């Protein structure tokens, strides 16, 4: 059985793009509890010029650590979450050696 978890979108973040990357990386999200445990699934719109994306996660607003890189599709599922956590996610677009600024932030509250 899948249940939805509370998701908050913070859309007021501003970010700049590295050379060769155009358009917004707009993170959208859906967090679900799957029968094998907890998971947070993130999706976003592709950024023109991006060759891949990196995912960052933190346990407080604005304090992120990279948890995945080289993602070539526009979704990612974080299965390394546990009960009673609030997690903050952002993504970046990567082109060659250039990386954009952070996307808007997604907050996932894991019950």
- Its domain, for residue 41, covers 3-110
What single DSSP character describes residue 73? S
Q: What is the distance between the alpha carbons of residues 73 and 50, in angstroms, rounded to a whole number? A: 10
pLDDT bracket for residue 65 (50, 70, 90): very high
Whichever domain contains 87, its CATH number is 2.60.40.10
Instruction: Say how many domains are in the chain.
Output: 1
| Bridge partners, residue 50, by sequence | none
pTM: 0.73
Q: Which of 1-15, 36-50, 67-81, 88-102 has the lowest mean pLDDT?
A: 1-15
Contact, 51 vs 15, CB < 8 A?
A: no
């Amino acid at each position: 059985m899948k249940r939805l978890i509370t998701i908050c979108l913070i859309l007021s973040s501003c970010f700049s793009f590295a050379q060769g990357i155009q358009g917004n990386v707009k993170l959208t999200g859906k967090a679900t509890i799957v029968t094998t445990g907890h998971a947070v699934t993130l999706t976003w719109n592709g950024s023109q010029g991006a060759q891949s994306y990196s995912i960052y996660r933190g346990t407080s607003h604005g304090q992120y650590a990279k948890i995945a890189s080289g993602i070539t599709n526009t979704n990612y599922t974080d299965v390394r979450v546990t009960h009673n956590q609030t997690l903050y996610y952002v993504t970046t677009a990567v082109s060659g050696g250039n990386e954009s600024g952070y996307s808007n932030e997604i907050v996932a509250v894991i019950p």
